[in-house]
Chains A and B, each alone.
Chain A
Amino acid sequence: MELSDAEIERYSRQIVMDEIGFEGQQKLKNARVTVIGVGGLGSPITQQLVAMGIGTVRIVDRDVVEISNLHRQVLYGDEDVGLSKAEAAHDRLKRINPKVMIEPLTLSINDDTVDEAINNSDVVIDGLDSVSARYSINRACVRLKIPYIFGSAIVTTGSSTSIIPGKTPCLECFQPALKDDEMPKCGTEGVHPAILTTVSSVQVSEAIRIIIGKEPNLANKLFLADVANLDYDKVKIIKQLKCNVCGPDADLTIKKSKRKLIEDICGREGKSVHIISPKENLEINLDKLNNILENDNLEIIRKGELGTTLNYNEKITVSIVTSGVSIIVGALEEKRALEIFSEIIINKLKINPEKVHNEFQKLLKVN
């Protein structure tokens, strides 16, 4: 598709630069970029991509906006608390640039869902906060041969690299064998908004170079930066022959099934938070859900297009997004969180429990 006169004016300050140019701008218009996670990194990433005129930006996030997100997740304001991030981000990004197609998805990323999240993308950009989801993205991007711009940040330190399947080291070449429960968490360690904008800007400039057909600056190099002292450099990284994702003996047909039905995320505003991620996209009909909840006199505190948040009782709030991912805040144990999920999703909405987990009923009893 050609650029219109209005678009030429809108993007004139980047069209005039050699780094992008007229042809480059056309390539941006015809590109589809997927940003996985619209939190601390994904907020400034999507803001820039959308303002710059990428044709289609797909945003994938299972989470709901919370008050403790607002200091760094610049897409959201107070009025978005309780809304699905995919939805709040969609609405904000549409205001920044209505011409850009935004594709919001409320999926939780794991080996079962990752293909749906990234298919048909020209580039995938990392705005995630968990190691296992990053490994799923990395494996899928290597398998589907989609460039993957890795980025991460915690406290004042951040890193990024451009993973080009078949050419550069992949994530498991330079950061293998990490486990989420061994990693420092933003909830307890904190994160400086300035390292997020630093890393996200690096990721965007790399993605733009790849779309335009230029060599990325971070192929075979890991950008590492610390805003506490402004130490930064690019460290050489090398493909590992024994890598089980991109090495010669790798078998990418094996699913590692790292998906956990229920995760206990500590440290969120002092309350326990459980996230339940169904095996399949449950494609929840929110109108139906809201009707049922209202008939049962449950208080809905936030109704959105992609999710609903309700007060289950005085202590427990539940957010359900269209994919069926449910975030339960205030349940003291996993068992209680699973019971509430089961009551709403399985009993009230009559969804087949096998779509949630092959042995859901059994888990419900054991837990």
Chain B
Amino acid sequence: MAEVKVLIPAVMSSSTNGEREVDVNGNTVIEVIDELSKKYGEDFKNKVIDNSGNLKPIINVYVNDENIKFLEDLHTKLKDKDEILFLPAVSGG
């Protein structure tokens, strides 16, 4: 299993007990999301994954600064020391 660092912006940290930097294990992005929900409960997963198991359109995930929409989405492979950032898109105004 790859050991990766997850970065959570403050506005999403209510789903991770206020933690903003978390080390977890996972070989793909979806495995990391599953690990996070094991650790912090379903709230995190419900924030980022929709009912059909896809990443919600309003959530962007970056692996080492590259958007997984331009990679292999939730199945993007991870290696040790990768940094994963979750970024919510805010619409409206």
Task: Establish whether residues A175 and B60, one from each chain, have CB atoms under 8 Å apart when the complex forms.
Answer: yes
Give which listed residue, B10, B66, B69, B92, contacts A184 with CB less than 8 A: B92
Q: Residues of B contacting A157 with CB < 8 Å?
A: 11, 88, 90
Kindly state whether residue B87 has any CB partner on chain A within 8 Å.
yes
Query: Considering only CB atoms, which chain B residue lies closest to A182 in the complex?
Result: B57
Task: Establish whether residues B87 and A158, one from each chain, have CB atoms under 8 Å apart when the complex forms.
Answer: no
Beta-carbon contacts of B33-71 to A below 8 Å, as 1s and 0s?
000000000000000000000000110101001110110
Task: Establish whether residues B87 and A178, one from each chain, have CB atoms under 8 Å apart when the complex forms.
Answer: no
Task: Establish whether residues B90 and A176, one from each chain, have CB atoms under 8 Å apart when the complex forms.
Answer: no
Task: Establish whether residues A237 and B87, one from each chain, have CB atoms under 8 Å apart when the complex forms.
Answer: yes
Whether A240 contacts B93 in the complex (CB less than 8 A), given A224-B11, A231-B11, A235-B87, comes out as no
Query: Considering only CB atoms, which chain A residue lies closest to B20 in the complex?
Result: A233
Tell me the minimal C-beta distance from B71 to chain A in angstroms: 9
Whether A154 contacts B10 in the complex (CB less than 8 A), given A177-B57, A238-B62, comes out as no
Kindly state whether residue B14 has any CB partner on chain A within 8 Å.
yes
Task: Establish whether residues B92 and A186, one from each chain, have CB atoms under 8 Å apart when the complex forms.
Answer: yes
Q: Residues of B contacting A158 with CB < 8 Å?
A: 90
Query: Considering only CB atoms, which chain B residue lies closest to A244 in the complex?
Result: B70
Q: Residues of A contacting B67 with CB < 8 Å?
A: 173-174, 176, 240
Give which listed residue, B9, B60, B91, contacts A152 with CB less than 8 A: B91
Kindly state whether residue A293 has any CB partner on chain B within 8 Å.
no
Task: Establish whether residues B14 and A179, one from each chain, have CB atoms under 8 Å apart when the complex forms.
Answer: no
Q: Residues of B contacting A237 with CB < 8 Å?
A: 87
Kindly state whether residue B76 has any CB partner on chain A within 8 Å.
no
Kindly state whether residue A129 has any CB partner on chain B within 8 Å.
yes
Task: Establish whether residues B91 and A232, one from each chain, have CB atoms under 8 Å apart when the complex forms.
Answer: no
Q: Which residues A215-256 have CB closer than 8 A to chain B?
A: 222, 224-226, 229, 231-233, 235-238, 240, 242
Task: Establish whether residues A232 and B93, one from each chain, have CB atoms under 8 Å apart when the complex forms.
Answer: no
Give which listed residue, A174, A185, A231, A240, contacts B92 with CB less than 8 A: A185
Whether A189 contacts B11 in the complex (CB less than 8 A), given A175-B60, A177-B69, comes out as no
Task: Establish whether residues B90 and A224, one from each chain, have CB atoms under 8 Å apart when the complex forms.
Answer: yes
Q: Residues of A contacting B69 with CB < 8 Å?
A: 176-177
Within the assembled complex, what's the spacing in Å between the Cα atoms of A153 and B89?
A: 10
Kindly state whether residue A1 has any CB partner on chain B within 8 Å.
no
Tell me the minimal C-beta distance from A96 to chain B in angstroms: 21
Task: Establish whether residues A179 and B11, one from each chain, have CB atoms under 8 Å apart when the complex forms.
Answer: no
Binding site for A on B (CB under 8 A): 7, 9-11, 13-14, 20, 57-58, 60, 62, 65-67, 69-70, 85, 87-93
Give 12 CB contacts A-B under 8 Å: A152-B90, A152-B92, A159-B89, A174-B60, A177-B69, A183-B58, A224-B9, A229-B14, A231-B11, A237-B87, A240-B66, A240-B70
Given contacts A233-B9, A240-B67, 19 further A-B contacts (CB under 8 A): A37-B93, A40-B93, A128-B93, A131-B91, A154-B91, A174-B87, A178-B58, A178-B89, A182-B57, A184-B91, A185-B91, A185-B92, A186-B93, A224-B10, A225-B11, A233-B11, A235-B9, A236-B85, A238-B66
